[in-house]
Structure 1
Amino acid sequence: MKAREVAYAGIFTAFVAVSAQISVSIGPVPLTFQVFAVLLTGLLLGSRLGFLTVLTYDIAGAVSLPVFAGFTGGIAHIYGPTGGYILAFPLAALVTGLAKGKGRKAKLVASGVAIALIYVLGWLCLGLYFGGNFEKAFELGVAPFVIPDIIKALIAVEISEAVERRLEP
């Protein structure tokens, strides 16, 4: 790994951690800016570095660094109501990273797929956390987030497009 990549990974790991603190409690799954940060990380860093960066965030939280929402950390979060979402974040960065440099349409599609991946893993784990009540898990862990996450994806794509235009030779 090059020094520049290590620096970017550190900056974006911190970005995801800070985005988790911009949080509104609306139930067992808080509304945060993490989805935005995860999507943007993949879009700007690419699939490999985006995945590793967000995986670093997950590992930091799992070993009790206070990077999760509400300045919390610990392995219990992986087994708690938000665990599926947290585990899906590196995969979402990988998916959006596949669209790096491929234009707005590809980025929008990749962002949609990434959000769907976050929802599916989050919903499944939340449903198990609720003792198999997947309807309740959908109502509390997916439905309230659809519109905000679409807006976050649109903003992430626009920012990535602007950055790429700025960096063009």
Structure 2
Amino acid sequence: MNIDSYYSTRKNVFERIQDSSTATKLLMSLMMACFTGIMAQIIIPLPWTPVPITGQTFAALSCGLFLGRKYGCLSQILYVALGVAFIPWFGGMTGGVEILLGSTGGYFIGLIIASYFVGLISERYAEARNFKKMAVTIGIANFALIYIPGLAGLALFLALQGTPVGIVELLMMGLIPFIIGDIVKILAAASLSKVFLPKD
């Protein structure tokens, strides 16, 4: 396959996804929700925090890239809703409303918001699908749109448990240990955008 054929194929596949029927997009959203559930089982627990490192962030950010704001966001809504309802596919094969109300509940909300934001940029700005611009976009989604509600939820959870913490301790529990891993996931998702998404 020469470079022109590669560019043409990449554009045709992307347009077919964008132009597919509502039923097909709903199915793809469900498939990406399943992918998020699978990636959530990649877990690195940390002894000083109830929040583990997982692969679900990478999945959530990738959903927006390929499905756009509406259906990328829907995939994460399905992931959270089905996990709360009856599918134990949160980290460590867990599920139920108690997980959503626990220490990681805010991060689940962040996944939904972040997938919408990445999908919005991916849909509307073809020039933003290159590596550098998408890395910045995904970085904003990751460190602002996921961590702000995530840290707020963690702080609330700890306060309700009778163990409120200061801002430095909160960041040590819910942000700082994850920065290096998140940078790797951001660069990996940006690489997907560079390789698989058309730039025009």
Q: What's the TM-score once normalised by structure 2's chain length?
A: 0.78
State the Cα distance separating 1:64 from its structure 2 match.
3.4
Does the residue aligned with 1:21 lie in a helix, a strand or coil?
A: coil
Match of 2:113 among 73, 76, 91: 91
Distance in structure 2 (CA, Å) of the matches to 1:52 and 1:76: 22
Match of 1:121 among 149, 153, 158: 149
Matched, 1:15 2:35: yes
State the Cα distance separating 1:157 from its structure 2 match.
1.1
Matched, 1:103 2:141: no
Structure 2: runs of 5+ lacking an equivalent: 1-20
Distance in structure 2 (CA, Å) of the matches to 1:160 and 1:4: 21
Deviates more, 1:1-10 or 1:72-81: 1-10
Distance in structure 1 (CA, Å) of the matches to 2:172 and 2:129: 34
Deviates more, 1:110-119 or 1:12-21: 110-119
Matched, 1:137 2:170: yes
Partner of 2:139: 112
Deviates more, 1:121-130 or 1:2-11: 2-11
Structure 1: runs of 5+ lacking an equivalent: none
Deviates more, 1:13-22 or 1:126-135: 126-135
Question: Number of residue pairs matched?
Answer: 167
Structure 1: 4+ residue segments shifted above 6 A: none
Q: Over aligned residues, Cα RMSD in angstroms?
A: 1.7
Any conservation in 2 of the 1:77–1:83 contact (CA below 8 Å)?
yes
| Paired residue type of 1:45 | L
Partner of 2:3: none
| Paired residue type of 2:155 | G
| Paired residue type of 2:136 | V
Identity of aligned residues (%): 34
Q: What's the TM-score once normalised by structure 1's chain length?
A: 0.91
Match of 2:181 among 148, 154, 167: 148
State the Cα distance separating 1:119 from its structure 2 match.
0.8
Distance in structure 1 (CA, Å) of the matches to 2:169 and 2:153: 12
Any conservation in 2 of the 1:19–1:34 contact (CA below 8 Å)?
yes
Distance in structure 2 (CA, Å) of the matches to 1:16 and 1:66: 12
Distance in structure 2 (CA, Å) of the matches to 1:10 and 1:55: 10
